[in-house]
Amino acid sequence: MLDMLDFLKTEGVQPRILSEIERFRGQFPAEGALQRRVPVPRYLYYGREIWEEAATALLCGENVLLVGPKATGKNVLAENLAAAFGRPSWDVSFYINTDAATLLGTDTFADGAVTLRKGPIYQCAETGGFGILDEINMAKNESLAVLHATLDFRRSIDMPGYERIVLHDAARFIATMNYGYAGTRELNEALASRFVVIDMPAIPAEGLMKLMTREFPDLRPEYGTHFASLFQDIQKKCDGGELSTKPLDLRGLLAALRLIHAGLEGNRALELGLVNKSFDDFERQLVLDVIRARLPEIIRREDVFA
Amino acid sequence: MEILDSEKRRARNLIWNAAGDYDFEPELKAYDQDGRADLYWNSIIGTARRLYGSDNLQRLFAALEGHPDQQLFEQLIWLGLENAAFARESACRPALPALRVSYARRVLALEHARPMDQLLDVLESAHFRRALGQSPAMTPGNREMLDALEFPGDLDGPALARRALDFLHQYFHFTPGASPAERKPPRRRFLAFRRSGKGDLPAVRGFGYGYGEHTVPSDGGGTEAGPPKRRITDLSVAQSEAALQAYIQNFFGPSLYDPHTVRELESELCAGDHRDCRLYYARGDDMRDGDVRGYAGAQRRAASKQMEKNKAAYQADLVRHRAGIQRLTARIQNALLAYLQPAPVRAASGTLDPGRIWRGIYLDDDRVFTRILRTDPGDLSVDLLLDASTSQLDRQATVAAQGYMIAESLTRCGIPVRVSSFCSLSGYTILSRYRDYRETGANERIFHYFTTGCNRDGLAIRAVGKGMEDSPCEHRMLILLSDARPNDVVKLRRGGSYLDYAGQEGIQNAAREVRSLLHRQISVVCVFTGDDKDVPAAHTIYGRDFARIRSLDQFADTVGTLIQNQIRGLS
């Protein structure tokens, strides 16, 4: 298994921060059933500065809010952080109906009695886990008010009818948000002030190359560059307001590469992975044009992979 | 042949993509013989801009302007640029060689259909034969010229521009800035040149084997629009009802509906306070009709010119406009997703419903809790109505851009939108419809917006309200871009006396028509485009549902909030 600390060393993260993370891991080891909840990252986040900022904030006991447009690696970083700190994590995907019950827990009926079914935030608080609050701004601000006491200096959860619990010392919350997505809203000041905010930059070509090469070690470097440039072409189109962010899909690009690796012709794979992510005919045409202007008409597996 | 707006946008995108820059309006866009955006040429145009710099290319092509052989020179230079850009870019873009081969094959396939006795055809055909690896048969003179024209890829912008001008000088005795008298006759006078023209060339002209659309320089936006022109505002000028109708038709273009439908609409709508008025529904798509003469013809030409100004003003601030559209789209989408209707359902967890506990104990039914779920609020359509009276004269480009931004944002959210403008002339209230609910690709027609005459807001609101019965959706919303200053020459009848349709009377009438729509569950909001002194009038007509736009930067947020509030109220 990849040691996250070794990876961070190769990324050039300051040794002082690395030794602090190591100390944290020694102080709060994940044991027993919790060990299974420590994530094993599928992808790695590349970017020394962001790593240093996020790790320092968590070491100082802060909660972190990762803000950035689509395909900037917010979730990858959140998962990587939990792995680097060796803490169990709970993923909570926020949506419009997220309410106190979804987060903290809800009454349920068992054996003829009303009991509490603990929510992910409650479990995080008890066990000192890392709560990853995905797309936190999808939920209504008023339903997030229940988190205020959990996220600020009080570090506690007080549910009516149940015991007040104090957060475990290792518990941290990492929230992600994207201003551009449909359905998102502005985070109110009260909630935003309970996080330190990291503005996530777009993945540079170099980062994309590393990501693809780690995933596909046999990827030919020239094709790695072409795919990275293609992704940046689409990114520019989104920044220019010509495309929605639907086709700007890093997961989709990697899925397309996987399909090419399995033998599917490249353009068809890119259609499945990127083009068809948009459901608007004209938008699909624009993405096809970008692909057609960048890559050859026929892309065979042996062209792309050694 | 018509080039569709969608193909224009595609061509722009191809150029922007190759140029790696989205902050400019391309000066040339290329289309194939069917009017579709040309993948290869547009990529080359964008690449050339990136590699050689827009200033260098602009200066180079500006030097050719006004020459009798401008069109020929342009096409020759683009052949040379294509050669240079391809040589430099093909290594980074593996698609380019394949695109070039496919373009070359198309060129050769089409050359059988046309005589090959003209220089440009000969050079173009030979150039693309070389691209296919063939050795074309040519005269030594033509071969020498083609060799000189195929510029190498290692030149920088200024060197390439120099090389291009040297080429034209050597083979055509062209000297930048020289008057026609100073120009020596071309050495190869015996050759006829394909598609060469004189003086003002059309914006869309031959390019390769398809078309090139050149940006027409415009003289600024609507804020510098000239003073109001003379208006014909009474029957005596047009002399008879039939002549007046013909005049209105000449002025605003053909009618949207047949006379019978219009009569029926008039009998229903031109009643009460509007009983002496007439209606005219125009297609607001194209004002260019060379056959219309006289004052109406002059007005149509002015309208056509205004369209160019509207577009130019929009393009001049393209980035901010586009950012506005993006932000407004996100706002509307948020509102649509966020304000869903609550529906309580029984569930196995949630808020305990004490009246159902017995079911848990005796029936082993654990659904003794209540949860609130959200449901879809239903479809929404929007009508956008632009005030096109002379009071908006100084704001024409702004209103057109705002209308376009709202319509485009709504379209991107999948909301059917119909866009019309209204004005009153000689007793007629004219509604020009730029696009209908399903015409998702026709938003650019909004730039045809131009102002004239007065505005009878009350009748226009009433007529649009009637038209909204065609809406395919459960919920309907009307957005007006107006200065809240109703004013018309046809007076209001009150008993035996007549009152001016202006001031408080006009405002009260418009307010009544708005309230009548509200009673029919049509939400009405106003994007206020007027002056400080008319704010109270906007309050009277629209209540709280209006917003004032002070700067482009706050446009999306302000209009977004306005629309959001309405969507929140859907039930």
In tens, the pLDDT along B260-289 reads 889 889 988 988 888 888 999 998 776 555
> Rounded to an integer, what distance in angstroms lies between the CA atom of residue A84 and that of residue A8?
9
In tens, the pLDDT along A12-31 reads 999 999 999 999 999 999 88
CB distance B485 to B500 below 8 Å: no
B 187-206: CB under 8 A from A: none
Q: Evaluate whether residue B225 is within a structural domain.
A: no
- pLDDT band for position A242 (50/70/90)? confident
pLDDT for residue B181: 52
B 65-124: CB under 8 A from A: 92-99, 102
Confidence check: pLDDT of B188 > 70: no
Measured between CA atoms, how close is A127 to chain B, in angstroms?
24
Residues B353 and B454 in one domain: no
> Rounded to an integer, what distance in angstroms lies between the CA atom of residue A91 and that of residue B137?
70
Greater pLDDT, B330 or A79:
A79
CA-based nearest residue to B479, from B556, B396, B562? B562
CB distance A256 to A274 below 8 Å: yes
Measured between CA atoms, how close is A146 to chain B, in angstroms?
16
Kindly report which listed range (B226-230, B348-352, B387-391) carries the lowest average pLDDT score: B226-230
Confidence check: pLDDT of B362 > 90: no
- pLDDT average, residue stretch B397-425: 90
> Rounded to an integer, what distance in angstroms lies between the CA atom of residue B198 and that of residue B191?
17
A290: how many CB neighbours lie within 10 A of its CB? 26
Measured between CA atoms, how close is A88 to chain B, in angstroms?
26
**Domain boundary residue, one of B181, B214, B247:** B214
pLDDT for residue A186: 63
pLDDT for residue A2: 61
Confidence check: pLDDT of B219 > 90: no
Confidence check: pLDDT of A261 > 60: yes
CA dihedral B434, B438, B442, B443 (to 10 degrees): 70
Give me the DSSP letters along B489-520: EEEEEETTEEEEESHHHHHHHHHHHHHHHHHT
CB contact under 8 A, B17 and A236: yes
Contacts of A237 in chain B (CB under 8 A): 13, 16-17, 22
Confidence check: pLDDT of B41 > 80: yes
Contacts of A289 in chain B (CB under 8 A): 10, 13-14, 17, 37, 39
pLDDT for residue B364: 82
Residues A31 and A96 in one domain: yes
> Rounded to an integer, what distance in angstroms lies between the CA atom of residue B505 and that of residue B501?
6
- pLDDT average, residue stretch A100-118: 84
Residues A258 and A290 in one domain: yes
> Rounded to an integer, what distance in angstroms lies between the CA atom of residue A90 and that of residue B135?
68
Confidence check: pLDDT of A105 > 50: yes
pLDDT for residue A227: 94
Least CB–CB distance from B338: residue in A185, A282, A289 = A185
- pLDDT band for position A76 (50/70/90)? very high
Output the six-digit token pair for A216: 């596909």
> Rounded to an integer, what distance in angstroms lies between the CA atom of residue B230 and that of residue B244?
16
Domain region containing A219? 205-304
Greater pLDDT, B413 or A213:
A213
CB distance B524 to B514 below 8 Å: yes
Which alpha helices (H) appear in B173-293, and where do they start and end?
A: 235-238, 241-252, 259-269
Residues A22 and A128 in one domain: yes
Residues 6+ apart with CB under 8 A from B316: B221
**B386: exposed, middle or buried (C-beta count within 10 Å: 0-12, 13-18, 19+)?**
buried
User: A106: which strand partners?
Assistant: A117
pLDDT for residue A68: 87
**High-pLDDT (> 70) share of chain A, %:** 96
Q: Which residue of B has its CA nearest to A285?
A: B10
CB distance B529 to B481 below 8 Å: yes
Q: Which residue of B has its CA nearest to A116?
A: B349
Q: Evaluate whether residue B76 is within a structural domain.
A: yes
Residues A65 and A168 in one domain: yes
**Domain boundary residue, one of A166, A199, A232:** A199
Chain B interface disruption, residue of A104, A109, A162, most B CBs within 10 A: A109
Least CB–CB distance from B338: residue in A96, A107, A109 = A96
CB contact under 8 A, B330 and A233: no
Greater pLDDT, B140 or A138:
B140
pLDDT for residue B223: 35
CB contact under 8 A, A294 and B6: no
pLDDT for residue A275: 94
Confidence check: pLDDT of A181 > 60: no
Q: For A157-170, b where at least 16 C-beta lie within 10 A, e where not — what string?
A: bebeeeeeeebbeb
Measured between CA atoms, how close is A286 to chain B, in angstroms?
6
> Rounded to an integer, what distance in angstroms lies between the CA atom of residue B500 and that of residue A202?
61
Which residues of chain A are at the B interface, by a Cβ-Cβ cutoff of 8 Å? 96-97, 101, 106-110, 112, 114, 117, 140, 179-185, 226, 229, 233, 236-237, 239-242, 244, 282, 285-286, 289-290, 292-297
pLDDT for residue B339: 67
Measured between CA atoms, how close is A28 to chain B, in angstroms?
34
- pLDDT band for position B497 (50/70/90)? confident
CA-based nearest residue to B74, from B214, B192, B183, B190? B214
Residues A211 and A182 in one domain: no
User: Average per-residue pLDDT in chain B?
Assistant: 81
Residues B167 and B271 in one domain: no
Residue A194 in 3-state DSSP?
coil
CB contact under 8 A, B350 and A241: no
> Rounded to an integer, what distance in angstroms lies between the CA atom of residue A96 and that of residue A138?
6
Chain A interface disruption, residue of B15, B17, B23, B444, most A CBs within 10 A: B17
Contacts A–B by Cβ distance under 8 A: 114
Measured over the CA atoms of residue B240, residue B242, residue B248 and residue B250, the dihedral's sign is negative
Q: Evaluate whether residue B226 is within a structural domain.
A: no
Residues B458 and B323 in one domain: yes
Host H or E run for residue A174: strand A172-177
B 413-452: CB under 8 A from A: 441
> Rounded to an integer, what distance in angstroms lies between the CA atom of residue A44 and that of residue B50?
34
Residues B79 and B183 in one domain: yes
Residues A9 and A119 in one domain: yes
Backbone angles phi, psi at B29, to 5 degrees: -125, 140
Angle CA(B147)–CA(B150)–CA(B153) in degrees, nearest 5? 130
Residues B125 and B255 in one domain: no
Whether complex ipTM tops 0.90: no
Residues 6+ apart with CB under 8 A from B359: B365, B367, B368
Please give the single-letter amino acid code of residue B9.
Answer: R
Confidence check: pLDDT of B154 > 70: yes
CB distance B36 to B6 below 8 Å: no
Chain A interface disruption, residue of B103, B337, B357, B561, most A CBs within 10 A: B337
CB distance B269 to B466 below 8 Å: yes
CB distance B541 to B461 below 8 Å: no
Confidence check: pLDDT of B190 > 60: no
- pLDDT average, residue stretch A105-129: 87
Cα B127 to the chain's mean position, in Å?
A: 37
Output the six-digit token pair for B412: 């991107």
Number of domains in chain B: 3
Q: Which residue of B has its CA nearest to A225?
A: B92
CA dihedral A17, A21, A24, A29 (to 10 degrees): -170
Confidence check: pLDDT of B240 > 70: no
Residues A188 and A213 in one domain: no
Residues B425 and B521 in one domain: yes
pLDDT for residue A238: 82
Contacts of A106 in chain B (CB under 8 A): 349-350, 369
Number of domains in chain A: 2
pLDDT for residue B228: 33
Measured between CA atoms, how close is B267 to chain A, in angstroms?
42
CB distance A261 to B41 below 8 Å: no
> Rounded to an integer, what distance in angstroms lies between the CA atom of residue B421 and that of residue B447?
11
**Domain boundary residue, one of A182, A199, A216:** A199
**High-pLDDT (> 90) share of chain B, %:** 23
CB contact under 8 A, B366 and A96: no
Output the six-digit token pair for A253: 């690009």
Residues A137 and A84 in one domain: yes
Residues B254 and B403 in one domain: yes
Confidence check: pLDDT of B201 > 50: yes
Q: Evaluate whether residue B337 is within a structural domain.
A: no
CB distance A52 to A182 below 8 Å: no
Least CB–CB distance from B361: residue in A112, A181, A290 = A112
Greater pLDDT, A161 or A255:
A255
Residues B75 and B49 in one domain: yes
Residues A275 and A209 in one domain: yes
In tens, the pLDDT along B99-142 reads 999 999 988 887 776 666 678 888 888 999 999 988 888 889 88
Q: Which residue has the tokens 């509207």?
A: B310
> Rounded to an integer, what distance in angstroms lies between the CA atom of residue B309 and that of residue B110?
37
Residues B259 and B407 in one domain: yes
Q: Evaluate whether residue B520 is within a structural domain.
A: yes
Q: Evaluate whether residue B406 is within a structural domain.
A: yes
CA dihedral A75, A80, A82, A88 (to 10 degrees): 90
Residues 6+ apart with CB under 8 A from B156: B52
Domain region containing B86? 5-214
Least CB–CB distance from A114: residue in B9, B18, B352 = B352
pLDDT for residue A258: 95
Residues B199 and B305 in one domain: no
Greater pLDDT, B386 or B173:
B386
Residues B44 and B182 in one domain: yes
Confidence check: pLDDT of B338 > 80: no
CATH no. for residue B249?
3.40.50.410
> Rounded to an integer, what distance in angstroms lies between the CA atom of residue B205 and that of residue B213?
7
Residue B134 in 3-state DSSP?
coil
CB contact under 8 A, B22 and A236: yes
CB contact under 8 A, B22 and A240: yes
Q: Evaluate whether residue B131 is within a structural domain.
A: yes
> Rounded to an integer, what distance in angstroms lies between the CA atom of residue B122 and that of residue B128?
10
Residues A188 and A215 in one domain: no
A205: how many CB neighbours lie within 10 A of its CB? 15
Output the six-digit token pair for B30: 């290329």
Residue B188 in 3-state DSSP?
coil
The DSSP call for residue A305 is B
Host H or E run for residue A23: helix A15-27
> Rounded to an integer, what distance in angstroms lies between the CA atom of residue A134 and that of residue B532?
45
Confidence check: pLDDT of B229 > 50: no
Q: Would you tell me the crossing angle of helices B157-172 and B140-149 to the nearest 10 degrees?
A: 160
Chain B interface disruption, residue of A104, A234, A289, A304, most B CBs within 10 A: A289
CA-based nearest residue to B29, from B444, B16, B61, B20? B16
Residues 6+ apart with CB under 8 A from B161: B52, B56, B57, B59, B60
Contacts of B322 in chain A (CB under 8 A): 240-242
Confidence check: pLDDT of B178 > 70: no
Contacts of B17 in chain A (CB under 8 A): 233, 236-237, 289-290, 293
- pLDDT band for position A267 (50/70/90)? very high
> Rounded to an integer, what distance in angstroms lies between the CA atom of residue B168 and that of residue A43?
57
Cα B435 to the chain's mean position, in Å?
A: 11
**Domain boundary residue, one of A178, A199, A220:** A199
Confidence check: pLDDT of B199 > 60: no
Residues A167 and A283 in one domain: no
Residues B262 and B350 in one domain: no
Please give the single-letter amino acid code of residue B73.
Answer: F
Least CB–CB distance from B326: residue in A109, A241, A290 = A241
pLDDT for residue A117: 87
- pLDDT average, residue stretch A189-217: 89
> Rounded to an integer, what distance in angstroms lies between the CA atom of residue B551 and that of residue B541?
23
pLDDT for residue A54: 96
Count of residues for chain A?
306
B 325-364: CB under 8 A from A: 325-326, 330, 333-334, 336-338, 340, 348-352, 360-361
Residue A178 in 3-state DSSP?
coil
pLDDT for residue B114: 66
Measured between CA atoms, how close is A207 to chain B, in angstroms?
19
Residues A242 and A133 in one domain: no
Least CB–CB distance from A107: residue in B43, B369, B412 = B369
CATH no. for residue A191?
3.40.50.300
